[in-house]
Structure 1
Amino acid sequence: MSYRRSRAVVPVIEVLEEASSTNDVMQRRAGDLPDLSVVLTDNQTGGRGRLGRVWVSPPGKALAISVLLKPVGLPPEAFGWFPLLAGLAMSRALSGFVPREVELKWPNDVLIDGSKVCGILCELLPGMSGVVVGSGVNLTLAADELPTETSTSLLLSGAAEPDQDAVLAAYLTELTVLYREFTAAGGDPGRSALRDSVAAACHTLGRSVRVELPGGDVLLGTAVDIDASGRLVVESDAGRTAVAAGDVTHLRY
């Protein structure tokens, strides 16, 4: 596939027949590539998810996409917004392909009717010289090919045989717009309106949640806000806690 529409959006797209991890490939090549370069494959054999999870799918049925961002002059705290920025971009992009509700789950999952269609993993480059934004999108997986019972694909969600170039171009377009606005505002999530946009799209807010924290502790409460650093604010019996990282489950009671 030539990815003609996608190549009109960003300066470089490298398509790999197969890759263990597109994020690893991008990290190795980042020094020689410009801002908003892309590495992708539809056959990723050893992809990583958050919290050390493995992300693998049958060849030709999902896209693994890594985008290189090299922002200049942003404060360190601004980098915490990139997973949310990417998740918002993907949720906006995918909403044009399915008749069902596309949701953003803090910090970086994209859901369709509560089932995961895309996960995002952002990794910092040495010296905070940039960030690699990796995403995996389930395109045409059948029900018996899904990695978990809570996963879905665009095809299963009503998309008519999703075209890889169309999906990629939509995502890169949304990502580029949000990235340019954010960097033009100096990484200020308020001035760029990113914080308000993420809060409006984030279906975690207002829900009862269970958060498994990196140290193993569990926080139960209600997600009430996203603070200026992109952290999820959870209100519990102990008060309000700002969560920078954790495995969030939406509770139904």
Structure 2
Amino acid sequence: MDFAVSAGLASSFEFVPETGSTNTDLIANSAQLSDFAVKVAGFQNAGRGRSGRQWLAPAGSSLFVSVLLKPQNVPASKFSWLPLLAGLAMNRAVSDLIAPARSSLKWPNDVLVADQKISGVLSELVPDLSGVVIGAGLNVSQEQVDLPIESATSLRLQGAHTLEHDQVLARYLGHLKDLYQRFVANQGDAVASGLRFSVIEECGTINRRVKAIMPGDTEVLGEAVGIDDSGRLILLREDSGQVFPVAAGDIVHLRHN
């Protein structure tokens, strides 16, 4: 595949027809790579989603990309915003591609179109704590029969203006780079950089009744009422009326009674 446009947005760029996981590859070589190094695969045979779920798709039907972010002068305590930043970038890319239809961000970093998942992001800290590898998968050319669940969709099914992988990837990398540069310029301050406001504005989870499945499979029901300064989702618990911050967990959008 030709990725001439996308390669121009990266500090270094590599495409491989197949690999186990682009995240694993970048993490293994993170010490030798520079900030905003990008790796793309035509197929992943050991791709992972959140909570270690397997993530596979027919070869050539999806975009698999990982980006190494090594933010200078940003404390590691602010790295929790990077997955949300990546999800926001992907949400904007998808919205560009399917306009006038719109996508939305499902906290923390899934992208939905009419409550159907089109993209997911998996972020992993590099061993020396110098940065984060952001892995993203985007359904591009699948028909409905190719998708593993009914609640998934693809750019093709949403009538995207282009399915050409370089153009699709360049949209994502362009938004990611713009948001990331502003975040780094503000030393990881999500408020000063405008990141927190943008995530809240484009997050379809806000004002929804949700179920939060926490580590250990504890479940909390409530209304998502906001996102705090560290990127946590703020729930108003149904059982107690108390505010409950979610730093990590699976969020399920529920219908209102």
Give the structure-2-normalised TM-score. Answer: 0.96
Q: Is 2:246 aligned against 1:243?
A: yes
Q: Aligned partners of 2:128 and 2:108: how far apart in 1?
A: 23
Q: Aligned partners of 1:24 and 1:86: how far apart in 2?
A: 18
Which residue pairs with 1:75 in the alignment?
75
Question: Structure 1, unaligned stretches of length 5 or more?
Answer: none
Matching of residues 179-218 of structure 1 within 5 Å: 179-218=180-219
Q: SS of the counterpart of 2:98?
A: coil
1:24-53, CA deviations, whole angstroms, 9 ceiling, x for partnerless residues?
Answer: 111111111111010011211110000111
Q: Which runs of 4+ in 1 moved over 6 A?
A: none
Q: SS of the counterpart of 1:10?
A: coil
What is the aligned length? 253
- Is the 1:140–1:161 contact (alpha carbons within 8 Å) kept by the matching residues of 2? no
Q: Aligned partners of 1:135 and 1:157: how far apart in 2?
A: 19
Q: Aligned partners of 1:128 and 1:229: how far apart in 2?
A: 18
Q: Aligned partners of 1:123 and 1:11: how far apart in 2?
A: 19
Matching of residues 89-128 of structure 1 within 5 Å: 89-99=89-99, 100-128=101-129
Q: Is 2:56 aligned against 1:56?
A: yes
Q: SS of the counterpart of 2:148?
A: coil
Q: Aligned partners of 1:227 and 1:42: how far apart in 2?
A: 37
Q: Aligned partners of 2:67 and 2:47: how far apart in 1?
A: 15
Q: Is 2:37 aligned against 1:37?
A: yes
Q: Aligned partners of 1:143 and 1:53: how far apart in 2?
A: 21
Which residue pairs with 1:168 in the alignment?
169
- TM-superposed deviation, 1:2: 2.0
- TM-superposed deviation, 1:146: 0.4
Q: Aligned partners of 2:149 and 2:47: how far apart in 1?
A: 16
Q: Aligned partners of 2:78 and 2:161: how far apart in 1?
A: 37
Q: Aligned partners of 1:173 and 1:161: how far apart in 2?
A: 16
Q: Aligned partners of 1:161 and 1:228: how far apart in 2?
A: 36
Q: Aligned partners of 1:32 and 1:127: how far apart in 2?
A: 12
Q: Aligned partners of 2:76 and 2:246: how far apart in 1?
A: 17
Give the structure-1-normalised TM-score. Answer: 0.98
Letter in 1 for 2:252: T
- TM-superposed deviation, 1:73: 2.2
Q: Aligned partners of 1:147 and 1:26: how far apart in 2?
A: 27
Q: Aligned partners of 1:77 and 1:31: how far apart in 2?
A: 20
Which residue pairs with 1:19 in the alignment?
19
Q: Aligned partners of 1:71 and 1:154: how far apart in 2?
A: 31
Which residue pairs with 1:28 in the alignment?
28
- TM-superposed deviation, 1:87: 0.3
- TM-superposed deviation, 1:160: 4.4
Letter in 1 for 2:131: G
Which residue pairs with 2:85 in the alignment?
85
Mean CA deviation greater in 157-166 or 213-222: 157-166
Letter in 1 for 2:65: I
Which residue pairs with 1:153 in the alignment?
154
- Is the 2:97–2:162 contact (alpha carbons within 8 Å) kept by the matching residues of 1? no
Q: SS of the counterpart of 2:226?
A: strand
Q: Aligned partners of 2:15 and 2:31: how far apart in 1?
A: 18
